[in-house]
Structure 1
């Protein structure tokens, strides 16, 4: 855990979040600035700065949790998008790996 990481503070209970799913290794919660009707962040409880820093087991747990979130939010059949932003050029502002689960409306390609 990193003291200056907002996601680590959420995991520790030092900051609040609207939790959707929690396991021993993963936490999912609603984004505070949603870009789609369904916008949930799925994070590993262990601090990894970027997606490439995760081990394969943790990456698999994050992906499995993202699918569970899509089902819980009712977008698993209509469709959803998973997005990992890695690095400042992608707009990553919190350097604790996180997967955006986006859905609830038609999403176009390519993204902006």
Structure 2
């Protein structure tokens, strides 16, 4: 089974990068790969987590960070106890550093073909919408939407 599910790509650039990584047989979110990836900027590291901006942020997001466990798992319940506990250190750092008084947190667990995800390595999305900065602002508003389901093609 591939590390990537191409059916949920949002842009051609994202698909091309995932195909390149898939051909190389590497998981972008595993620590050695993400540390050497030219486009992934690590903004914080804890004992068990990496915090990085999403290279392909969702429409409407003024902040879109990923919390990525250093363990290669596909479900939150597969994390070791130390990694589960350390998640809150990473999340607290994000909240404090960005002065957040509200945010969304999304995680897809299991098989990417059904969850709306693209990569078979657990990661959590920290999302703040662009309209959240000024609720009285006039103009176009794009709500942040995170896909939590998909249907793979039948063969």
Same fold at TM > 0.5? yes
Q: Whole-Å Cα distance in 2 between the matches of residues 26 and 62 of structure 1?
A: 7
Partner of 2:96: 71
* Pairing 1:100–2:122 present: no
* SS at 1:63 equivalent: helix
* Pairing 1:32–2:59 present: no
Partner of residue 44 from structure 2, selected from 21, 40, 43: 21
Partner of 1:56: 81
Partner of residue 81 from structure 1, selected from 104, 121, 141: 104
Unaligned runs of 5+ in 2: 4-24, 133-141, 148-155
Q: Whole-Å Cα distance in 1 between the matches of residues 29 and 146 of structure 2?
A: 25
Shift of 1:111: 6.3
Q: Whole-Å Cα distance in 2 between the matches of residues 24 and 41 of structure 1?
A: 16
Task: Name whichever structure is richer in strand by fraction.
Answer: 1
* Rg larger for: 2
Please list the CA deviations of residues 1-58 of structure 1 after superposition, one character each: whole Å capped at 9, or x if unmatched: x952111110xx2313222211222110000111211100011112112222112331
Task: Name whichever structure is richer in helix by fraction.
Answer: 2
Root-mean-square deviation (CA, aligned residues, Å) is: 2.7
Partner of 2:27: 5
Q: Whole-Å Cα distance in 1 between the matches of residues 55 and 47 of structure 2?
A: 23
* SS at 2:66 equivalent: strand
Q: Check the 8 A contact 2:49/2:70 in 1, yes or no.
A: yes
Shift of 1:60: 2.4
- The TM-score normalised by the length of structure 1 is 0.78
Partner of 1:91: 116
